[in-house]
Structure 1
Amino acid sequence: MSDDDLVFRALADPTRRFLLDMLFARDGRTLGELEAEVEMTRFGVAKHLRVLEDAGLVLSRRSGREKLHFLNPVPIRLIHDRWIDKYSERSAAALADLKRELELSAMMSTTDTTEGSTVIQVYQVYIKASPQAIWDAITKPEWTVKFGYQVPVDYDLRPGGAFRGMASEAMKEFGAPDVMVDGEVIEAEPPRRLVQTWRALFVGEGFTRLTYEIEEDGNGVCKLTVTHDVTGAPQTAAQTAGRIPENGGGWNQILSDLKTLLETGEPLYR
């Protein structure tokens, strides 16, 4: 069964759509919290969550002894990019509305801690490419200028090394600063894991924590997971979740564009 088939199958069930709506309203819920909202056994809810996880629409993360569930809008973005522009039937228009709603959810989980409120965004996409190819696309300027915001990056891939995302010439014409984003490398394990701080200078907030994880999934396919801790940076969270349309589609657009570039040689957006 193809990735598209898994997503369409998952969305066909009203209970699963309701679970997505609940995660849209508040992300990072436990199985118990989800069970309390539906007239169904814990086992039944767990089965529906498994279908959503298999389709990539829900991701789970451990937080202490609890397992939290997160909405992942990237597969909806991919369905949109593959199908919505091609067909205009009513069912496709409905899917476009669902895509827009899920992308606006910001993929945020708010968890109370002794230090305050932790806000996490989690995104995941499967790419038919090698770990090295994905690593290079994330860390090398000759690749980053081809997708997403088309920003050339400069990485010193050592713990404590500097990271900068430079404005393109087109951005500078509109008054953008030379350096759009900056940060510092915390961990670098090429081509599997990169942890860094990340700050959007044009937003005017402090540093956030960004993690890339690349795992081989078999048959030449890799799973790329992006985890962005945007605690204390609400404007950055809105930006990276694509909630500011005039500034682009955030991580959804970037990852969809990256997947298409690596798999076809051409980006979605120019």
Structure 2
Amino acid sequence: MSDDDLVFKALADPTRRFLLDLLFARDGRTLGAMEAEVEMTRFGVAKHLRILEDAGLVITRRSGREKLHFLNPVPIRLIHDRWIDKYTERSAAALADLKKELEQQAMSSVTDTADSTVIQVYQVYIKATPQAIWDAITKPEWTAKFGYQSPVDYDLRPGGAFRARASEAMKQHGAPDVVIDGEVIEADPPRKLVQTWRALFTGEDFTRLTYEIEQDGTGVCKLTVTHDVTGAPQTAAQGAGQIPEAGGGWNQILSDLKTLLETGQPLYH
């Protein structure tokens, strides 16, 4: 079964869509928290969550003894980019509405009321080697081809500087030469990169960004991006399902990156 088939199958069930709605309203929930919201056994909820995980729509993370569930909108973006522009049936329009709703949430996040920690989690599978993905993230000739098309400069050692320079299109709109800066915390090529990240054009504080690349032995790699945006500027109407205005655009960036590495051409150019 293809990745698209898994996503369509997962979205076809109303209970699974309701579970996604629960994570949209408040991310980072335990199995028990979601079981309390539905008239279903714990086993039944766990089975639905497993299908959502298999489709990549839900990502799990351990926090102490608890297993937390996060909403991952990247597969929605990939299906949108593959299908929505070509078909206009009602089901496709409904998928576009779901994509819009998830993107308005500004990606997967969890808020711990005790320490106001806010984390965004994204995941995508790419048919490429770990080294190819690492190079696409860290080398300017690659980053200029996808996402914000910003050439990057990395000093890949702890304490090394990170800079993302404005693309020509950005400069035409008055952007400064350096639009994002930060510092490398950990570099383990081609498996893991941890850094600080600050968007200079929005006046954000430094946040923490982690890339993890895992190979499954079949020529496919899993890329997980975790963005800790704790302390970033708040939205004008902070509330349920909303998070700080840090980061943003990761689902589009990862969709673009996947397409570039697998086809040689970016989605947006």
Tell me the TM-score normalized by structure 2: 0.95
Match of 2:186? 187
Counterpart Cα distance in 1 of 2:79 and 2:195: 30
Match of 1:69? 69
Where has structure 1 moved over 3 Å in runs of 4 or more? 234-237
- The share of aligned pairs that are identical, in percent, is 84
Tell me the TM-score normalized by structure 1: 0.94
Deviations along 1:118-159, one digit per CA (max 9) or x if unpaired, are 000000000000000000000000000000000000000000
Match of 1:85? 85
Match of 2:163? 164
- Deviation of 1:33 after TM superposition, in Å, equals 0.7
Of the structure 1 ranges 98-107 and 15-24, higher mean CA displacement relative to structure 2 is found in 98-107
Match of 1:265? 264
Counterpart Cα distance in 1 of 2:190 and 2:210: 13
- Deviation of 1:187 after TM superposition, in Å, equals 0.2
Report if aligned partners of 2:229, 2:247 keep a CA contact under 8 Å in 1: no
Match of 1:23? 23
The one-letter code sitting in structure 2 at the alignment partner of 1:118 is T
Structural mapping, 1:135-150, within 5 Å: 135-150=134-149
- SS of match in other structure, 2:136: helix
RMSD over aligned CA atoms reads 1.1
Counterpart Cα distance in 1 of 2:112 and 2:185: 24
Counterpart Cα distance in 2 of 1:234 and 1:223: 30
- Deviation of 1:170 after TM superposition, in Å, equals 2.1
- SS of match in other structure, 2:111: strand
Counterpart Cα distance in 2 of 1:83 and 1:174: 31
Matched, 1:215 2:214: yes
Match of 2:132? 133
Deviations along 1:217-254, one digit per CA (max 9) or x if unpaired, are 2321000000000001035943523xxxxxxxx00100
- Deviation of 1:49 after TM superposition, in Å, equals 0.3
Counterpart Cα distance in 1 of 2:8 and 2:124: 16
Match of 1:198? 197
1:226–1:133 distance in 2 versus 1, CA, 3 Å: same
Counterpart Cα distance in 2 of 1:260 and 1:210: 22
Counterpart Cα distance in 2 of 1:133 and 1:79: 23
Report if aligned partners of 2:204, 2:246 keep a CA contact under 8 Å in 1: no
Match of 1:55? 55
Counterpart Cα distance in 2 of 1:185 and 1:239: 18
The one-letter code sitting in structure 2 at the alignment partner of 1:153 is V
Matched, 1:14 2:5: no
The count of residues paired between Structure 1 and Structure 2 equals: 260
- SS of match in other structure, 2:169: helix
Match of 2:43? 43
Of the structure 1 ranges 196-205 and 124-133, higher mean CA displacement relative to structure 2 is found in 196-205
Counterpart Cα distance in 2 of 1:206 and 1:239: 9
1:63–1:13 distance in 2 versus 1, CA, 3 Å: same
Structure 1 unaligned segments of length 5 or more: list them.
Answer: 242-249
Matched, 1:108 2:109: yes
Deviations along 1:13-58, one digit per CA (max 9) or x if unpaired, are 0000000000001111111110110001111101100000000000
The one-letter code sitting in structure 2 at the alignment partner of 1:90 is R
Counterpart Cα distance in 2 of 1:108 and 1:95: 21
The one-letter code sitting in structure 2 at the alignment partner of 1:21 is D
Counterpart Cα distance in 1 of 2:244 and 2:117: 12
Counterpart Cα distance in 1 of 2:217 and 2:99: 28
Counterpart Cα distance in 2 of 1:91 and 1:10: 14
Counterpart Cα distance in 2 of 1:169 and 1:104: 27
Of the structure 1 ranges 172-181 and 52-61, higher mean CA displacement relative to structure 2 is found in 172-181
Structural mapping, 1:235-250, within 5 Å: 237-241=244-248, 250=249
Counterpart Cα distance in 2 of 1:72 and 1:185: 25
